[in-house]
Amino acid sequence: MRTLFYYHPDFLEHNPGRGHPERPERLRAIIDGLKDSSLDQQVEWVEPQTVDPSYLKGIHSDEYVERILALDGCSTALDPDTVVSPGSVRAALRAAGAAVEAAKAVLSSSRTVAFCAVRPPGHHAERNRAMGFCLFNNVAIAADRVITEGLARRVVIFDPDLHHGNGTQNAFYRRNDVFYISIHRYPYYPGTGAISETGEGEGQGFTANVPLPGGMGDDDYMFVVMELVLPVMESFRPELLLVSAGFDAHVSDPLGDMSVTESGFVGMYSRIMTKALEKNIKCAFILEGGYDLYALRSSVSSILETLIEEKFEHSHEIRPCQEVQEIVDFVIERLRI
């Protein structure tokens, strides 16, 4: 599997301040993990360009885009969690650029997958508001752009980040060309992602929220993939799958209360990639959360090794808890699958 790895030193220049969990060391840990395992020599490194600002306006309002761009070189807090430093805006422009470039690259090439090691993350960014460490909604911008340019007619966004991707959901809540699927802890920040949120208007039935209690682990997440994500990939027939690759559901993460391990992430994505190859669905992963440095490092390395070597293993017997099975059954009854 040809694996593109999108990274730029500008991502390290986004510095929310000492003690902030979304810190530059996150990417340094990922890069160190690749080098220690020699994976850095097996991926194709790509330095993304800054995104065309007009692309941002497919998801964000003109006023919001101009307001964020005006903060380039400044230091300020947009809310208690979301901080801008002098290098933040340029990093955010490159992060959105990486997502767009990766989506286009995999759509134009066979047997190619992409991983975007970007900062700041994006899935909380709303049309008119920065929040949850996010400035621009990288995944949403990429999905909207490839559809706008006619490179894809349908896109699935899978978001297993610990926190619900409110910004991504709202961007496509009334659309039927993007199917958004989120697994997240609930109730938890940002308070959205209830099981009843399934879309509106033309988008009714094209949003799937799987709100889970704390403590859920590998089997629970893999069950959601098997019973929900794969059937959506089968029935919705997307040309592109974008993964909001959050790792804060890891058992070691300081912001979560889940029990997913590296093996759990590999198991989920092994099953997803097998279906993607079967159905010729192109895939790109865009980094979101994940705040334990070792867990982030080891999880990303394990996933990249799996993608490169195509070691998609499915031998693990899945035994989810009863509550997860009931939640998934409830969700499926209300979707367009």
Which helix (H) or strand (E) element contains residue 284?
strand 282-287
What residue type is assigned to position 247 of the chain?
F
Ranges assigned E (strand) in 25-121? 44-46, 76-77, 83-84, 112-116
Instruction: Report the DSSP beta bridge partners of residue 244.
Output: 286
Dihedral angle computed from the Cα positions of residues 308, 310, 316 and 319, in that order, rounded to the nearest 10 degrees? 70
- Please tell me the distance from the alpha carbon of residue 39 to that of residue 308, in angstroms, as a whole number: 9
Catalytic residue list contains 124: yes
Q: How far is CA 90 from CA 4, 39, 245, in A?
A: 22, 27, 21
Looking up tokens 């994505």 gives 269
- Please tell me which residue in 124, 163, 184, 250 is annotated as part of the active site: 124
- Please tell me the distance from the alpha carbon of residue 75 to that of residue 10, in angstroms, as a whole number: 16
What residue type is assigned to position 330 of the chain?
F
- Nearest alpha carbon to residue 235 among 154, 312, 157: 154
The helix/strand/coil state of 28 is helix
Query: What Rg value do the Cα atoms of the chain yield, rounded?
Result: 18
Give the residue numbers annotated as catalytic, written as ranges.
124
